[in-house]
Amino acid sequence: MFINWALQEINLKIVYYGPGMSGKTTNLEYIHSKLDSSVAGDLVSLKTKEDRTIFFDFLQLDVGRIKGKRPKFNLYTVPGQVFYASSRKIILKGVDGIVFVADSQKDRMDSNIETLLDLENNLSEEGMDIKVFPWVIQYNKRDLTGIESIDILQGELNRYKVPYFESVAVNGDGVFNTLKAIINSVILKAQKEL
Ligand SMILES: Nc1nc2c(ncn2[C@@H]2O[C@H](COP(=O)(O)OP(=O)(O)OP(=O)(O)O)[C@@H](O)[C@H]2O)c(=O)[nH]1
Ligand SMILES: [Mg+2]
């Protein structure tokens, strides 16, 4: 959280984290496509010609009030590909809430688990504990065949029983439910800290 007292603005950082190709960028693209420009700024994406995120995507939302101040929600995605580990660490700095975008496909379970461990380690290096941190899980790609059941995904990935959402991000299903949940958790945390 960063407060600009002169402008009475609170900057809150929400990071979409998850394995490569799980649908993180697709979430931000959908959010950007549905919101008016008075609420959402430009979507900034740094990607390869194959549409893989190289460093991050960024979208700023200007919604509501917290104790008279204007919160700005800065949404970021990390690059999921294994070799961008150092970028993920940089993007996590100062994070206030996380959406873990899991890929529901059976053959992506190992990548989901590995990326969740990567997240836990990176948070703890920053002195944050995933057990008490605001985060939610999104089980994406529910439209595909060859996907894992929610029970199994829950058993493997949701040890801390955080809120979870099923989604088909390409169609927008579940995208705003997920966003609302993480915004609410982040607001609760910010209100306590102000
Ligand atoms: N069938 C299906 N495809 C999806 C869904 N969500 C995303 N995709 C597709 O999956 C591919 C990867 O999506 P991205 O949003 O670029 O994935 P990412 O997590 O940002 O990937 P990296 O930037 O490499 O970490 C794209 O072709 C999307 O259109 C979904 O719910 N269902
Ligand atoms: Mg991406």
Per-residue pLDDT of the chain (194 residues; tens, 9 = 90+): 888 878 888 999 999 999 999 999 999 999 999 999 999 999 999 888 888 888 899 999 998 777 888 899 999 999 999 888 999 999 999 999 999 999 999 999 999 999 999 999 999 999 999 999 999 999 999 999 999 999 999 999 999 999 999 999 999 999 999 999 999 999 998 888 88
φ/ψ of 169, rounded to 5, equals -60, -30
> Does residue 19 contact residue 93 with C-beta atoms inside 8 Å?
no
Q: Which ligand is nearest to the CA of 23?
A: 1
Q: Which ligand is nearest to the CA of 147?
A: 1
Q: What is the pLDDT of residues 28-41, one digit of tens each?
A: 999 999 999 999 99
Domain count, the chain: 1
pLDDT of residue 3: 81
- Read off the pTM: 0.96
Cα 2 to ligand 1 centre (Å): 30
Query: What residue numbers bound the domain in which 83 lies?
Result: 2-193
φ/ψ of 183, rounded to 5, equals -60, -45
DSSP states along 20-83: TTSSHHHHHHHHHHHS-TTTB-PPEEEE-TTS-EEEEEEEEEE---BTTBEEEEEEEE---SGG
Nearby residues for ligand 2 (ion, Cβ within 5 Å): 24-25, 53
Instruction: Return the best residue to mutate from 26, 91, 101 for the ligand 1 pocket (most ligand atoms within 8 A of CB).
Output: 26
Cα 21 to ligand 2 centre (Å): 7
Pocket of ligand 1 (CB under 6 A): 18, 20-26, 51-53, 77, 79-81, 140-141, 143-144, 168-170
Give every CB contact of residue 122 below 8 A, 6+ residues apart in sequence. 88, 89, 92
Write the burial class of residue 41 (CB in 10 Å: 0-12 exposed, 13-18 middle, 19+ buried): middle
State the virtual CA torsion across 140, 98, 17, 76 in degrees, nearest 10: 110
- Specify the pairing of strand 97-103 against strand 9-17: parallel
Q: What is the CATH number of the domain that holds 8?
A: 3.40.50.300
